[in-house]
């Protein structure tokens, strides 16, 4: 994926797969075809022609017709490619039930995978097989975090946008001041012994939590004072985990706040983790807002104006935006209007608009000519303007803040707008 537009590509893939997963057919009428790079188009077409012939043996005339129609549509579209793209090609096609009994429509979807696919697959089923594309949405790298001092320890993982506090333990070690009557040397020896036992427990918990993780990239060690260094010097972790410690970070706390401090202090290491990326993007935007630099904007109308003027450096969009941009045109004059409405209002809006009078020429020839999801429409405008696009998930605090506090649309500007 392109680094600058990876969040947009991930969002589009996620949304497409969710919609495909919701499609259901009857019997085995939905065709899924995965073609990896290196396969000859002619070879795949020959396979589809063979499957078309096999489908003639289907007893149900309706199912047979729908399967053969789907194969024909896929074959026709496949022939438009001289060769399979580098990342491969995925096509889904089939008869999807529409509103009303006995109403069906052949729908065709083409997806360009964000990374090369390895599987060559043809399947007819009652659903589309999206599982091989779903793999691209999984964050493949996990980071482990251990934050400790002489009193407490916390264990956490960061994977993509998800920060999880897995376990928190206490040491049971008394403070540095001895009880009355104890000699100083004896007290120190006892405390050191208990510290070693505590370190051993920390290591056992860490081994239990982190060893089973398949794609554990690195471990980050944090905490206040020297305890973390003493733990690091010993052999309390499994050797494979000890080798993965890439940073030791000072924190003020060892609880949830301490884990957050480690994340904050390790942004260079975690720069590929989406959790940190979204945090950095929103922090930059909020900094511009807080310092009143004039380099931040929010709200669809204001951002759209700056976007059209080419002064947006980064466009921030919430993936939870549920609106569409409709284009209304008059069939008798050049009147055109664009409006943003909620997705669930589209049918009612069309019914109300189509055939109504034009405010310019008064002829009743208005109609809705185009509808496009707002997030796609804004992203396309941004791509034309050379603007980076960041789509923030609703799973993070930052993504929720973008949606609830700023309407889901915000921008960091290249330079201050002149009023």
Residue ranges of the chain assigned to CATH 3.30.420.60: 142-272
Instruction: State the Cα–Cα distance between residues 167 and 153, nearest whole angstrom.
Output: 8
- Write down the pLDDT at residue 300: 96
Instruction: State the Cα–Cα distance between residues 150 and 247, nearest whole angstrom.
Output: 19
Q: Which pLDDT tens digits describe the chain residue by residue (419 residues)?
A: 444 457 888 899 999 999 999 888 887 899 999 999 999 999 999 999 999 999 999 999 989 999 999 999 999 999 999 999 999 999 999 998 876 556 788 999 999 998 899 999 999 999 999 999 998 887 778 999 999 999 999 999 998 878 999 999 999 887 665 555 557 778 778 888 999 999 999 999 999 999 999 889 999 999 999 999 999 999 999 999 999 999 999 999 999 999 999 999 988 888 777 788 888 899 999 999 999 999 999 999 999 999 999 999 999 999 999 999 999 999 999 999 999 999 999 999 999 999 999 999 999 999 999 999 999 999 999 999 999 999 998 888 888 999 999 999 999 999 987 76
Instruction: State the Cα–Cα distance between residues 258 and 278, nearest whole angstrom.
Output: 20
Written as one string, the DSSP assignment of 204-230 is: HHHHHHHTT-TTEEEEEEEESSSHHHH
Domain at 296-413, CATH homologous superfamily: Ribosomal protein L30/S12 (3.30.1330.30)
- Write down the pLDDT at residue 332: 94
User: Which phi-psi region, left, alpha or beta, contains residue 44 (left: φ > 0; alpha: ψ -120 to 50)?
Assistant: alpha
Domain at 6-137, CATH homologous superfamily: eRF1 domain 1 (3.30.960.10)
- Write down the pLDDT at residue 188: 79
- Write down the pLDDT at residue 181: 52
- Write down the pLDDT at residue 155: 98
- Name the pTM for this structure: 0.76
- Write down the pLDDT at residue 139: 74
Residue ranges of the chain assigned to CATH 3.30.1330.30: 296-413
Strand 104-111: give its sheet, edge to edge: 104-111, 89-97, 30-35, 121-125
Query: 142-272 — its CATH code?
Result: 3.30.420.60
Instruction: State the Cα–Cα distance between residues 283 and 153, nearest whole angstrom.
Output: 28
């Amino acid at each position: 994926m392109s680094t600058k537009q990876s969040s947009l590509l991930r969002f589009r893939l996620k949304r497409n797969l969710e919609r495909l997963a919701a499609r259901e057919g009857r019997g085995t009428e939905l065709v899924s075809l995965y073609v990896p790079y290196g396969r000859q188009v002619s070879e795949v077409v020959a396979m589809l022609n063979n499957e078309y012939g096999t489908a003639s043996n289907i007893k149900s005339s309706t199912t047979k017709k729908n399967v053969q129609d789907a194969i024909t549509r896929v074959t026709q579209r496949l022939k438009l490619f001289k060769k399979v793209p580098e990342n491969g090609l995925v096509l889904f096609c089939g008869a999807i039930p529409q509103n009303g009994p006995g109403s069906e429509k052949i729908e065709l979807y083409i997806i360009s995978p964000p990374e090369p696919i390895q599987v060559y697959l043809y399947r007819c089923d009652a659903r589309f097989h999206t599982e091989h594309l779903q793999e691209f949405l999984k964050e493949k790298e996990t980071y482990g975090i251990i934050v400790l001092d002489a009193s407490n320890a916390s264990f956490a993982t960061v994977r993509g946008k998800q920060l999880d506090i897995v376990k928190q333990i206490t040491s049971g070690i008394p403070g540095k001041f001895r009880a009355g009557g104890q000699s100083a040397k004896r007290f120190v020896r006892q405390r050191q012994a208990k510290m070693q036992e505590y370190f051993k427990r920390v290591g056992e918990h860490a081994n239990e939590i982190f060893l089973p993780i398949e794609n554990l990239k690195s471990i980050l060690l944090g905490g206040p004072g020297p305890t973390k260094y003493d733990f690091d010097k010993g052999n309390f972790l499994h050797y494979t985990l000890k080798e993965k410690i890439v940073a030791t970070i000072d924190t003020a706390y060892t609880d949830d706040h301490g884990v957050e401090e480690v994340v904050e202090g390790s942004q260079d290491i975690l720069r590929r983790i989406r959790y940190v990326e979204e945090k950095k993007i929103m922090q930059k935007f909020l900094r511009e807002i807080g310092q009143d630099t004039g380099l931040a904007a929010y709200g669809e109308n204001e951002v759209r104006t700056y976007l059209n003027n080419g002064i947006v450096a980064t466009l921030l969009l919430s993936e939870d935006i549920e609106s569409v941009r409709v284009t209304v045109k008059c069939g008798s004059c050049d009147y055109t209007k664009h409006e943003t409405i909620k997705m669930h209002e589209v049918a009612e809006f069309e019914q109300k608009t189509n055939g109504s009078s034009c405010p310019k020429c008064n002829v009743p020839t208005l109609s809705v000519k185009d509808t496009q999801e707002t997030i796609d429409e804004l992203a396309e405008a941004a791509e034309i303007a050379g603007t980076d696009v960041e789509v923030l998930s609703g799973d993070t605090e930052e993504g929720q803040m973008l949606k609830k506090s700023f309407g889901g649309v915000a921008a960091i500007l290249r330079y201050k707008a002149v009023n």
